[in-house]
């Protein structure tokens, strides 16, 4: 069976820290590209970064199914948060309680795939996901008339 390779670009951001927050996810698969932006309410930047990864892994599993995820999906998650990437790669300790819980959720989701690796990328290489975060926040905040 040939493995399916997926590259996921994730970003999370908050206006104010904490403040109104959103996530942006771009999933590039063998056949197509999917883009998602979602408002997540009040959060810190770091919480939003984690929530973007969680959303992306859940969404990919939903898109390709449990069997393909477990047996064929090789996933590379790209993020422009050095903290997130370093924590998920076991290089930094996680001191904050909320981030520890989010880390565990990512860790458990990782088990649903053949392989998952996390890569830090420069912000300019993550424009697609970043744009989704800002568009989502702009749209949400204009509703609130802030």
> Residue 19 belongs to a domain with what CATH number?
3.30.420.10
Q: Inform me whether the pLDDT recorded for 146 exceeds 60.
A: no
Which strand ranges, in their side-by-side order, compose the sheet holding 73-79? 33-43, 19-28, 4-14, 73-79, 115-120
Domain containing 124: what range? 4-144
Global pTM?
Answer: 0.96
Give the mean pLDDT of 93-121: 97
Q: Indicate the SS3 state at residue 25.
A: strand
Q: Inform me whether the pLDDT recorded for 145 exceeds 70.
A: no
Q: Inform me whether the pLDDT recorded for 107 exceeds 80.
A: yes
Q: How far apart are CA 142 and CA 55, in angstroms?
A: 24
- The confidence band for 144, taking pLDDT boundaries of 50, 70 and 90, is confident
Domains held by the chain: number? 1
4's enclosing H/E stretch is: strand 4-14
Instruction: Convert the pLDDT of each residue in 36-85 to its tens digit.
Output: 999 999 999 999 999 999 999 999 999 999 999 999 999 999 999 999 99
Instruction: Convert the pLDDT of each residue in 2-39 to its tens digit.
Output: 689 999 999 999 999 999 999 999 999 998 999 999 99
């Amino acid at each position: 069976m040939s493995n399916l390779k997926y590259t996921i670009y994730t970003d999370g951001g908050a206006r104010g820290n904490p403040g109104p927050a959103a996530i942006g996810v771009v999933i590039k698969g063998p056949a197509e590209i999917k883009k998602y932006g979602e408002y997540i309410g009040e959060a810190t930047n770091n919480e939003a970064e984690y929530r973007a990864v969680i959303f992306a892994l859940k969404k990919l599993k939903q898109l390709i199914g449990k069997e393909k995820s477990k047996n064929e999906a090789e996933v590379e998650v790209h993020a422009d948060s050095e903290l997130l990437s370093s924590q998920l790669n076991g290089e930094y300790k996680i001191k904050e309680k909320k981030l520890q819980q989010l880390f565990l959720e990512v860790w458990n989701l990782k088990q649903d795939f053949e392989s998952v690796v996390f890569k830090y990328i420069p912000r300019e290489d993550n424009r697609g996901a970043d744009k989704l975060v800002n568009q989502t926040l702009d749209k949400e905040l204009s509703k609130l008339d802030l």
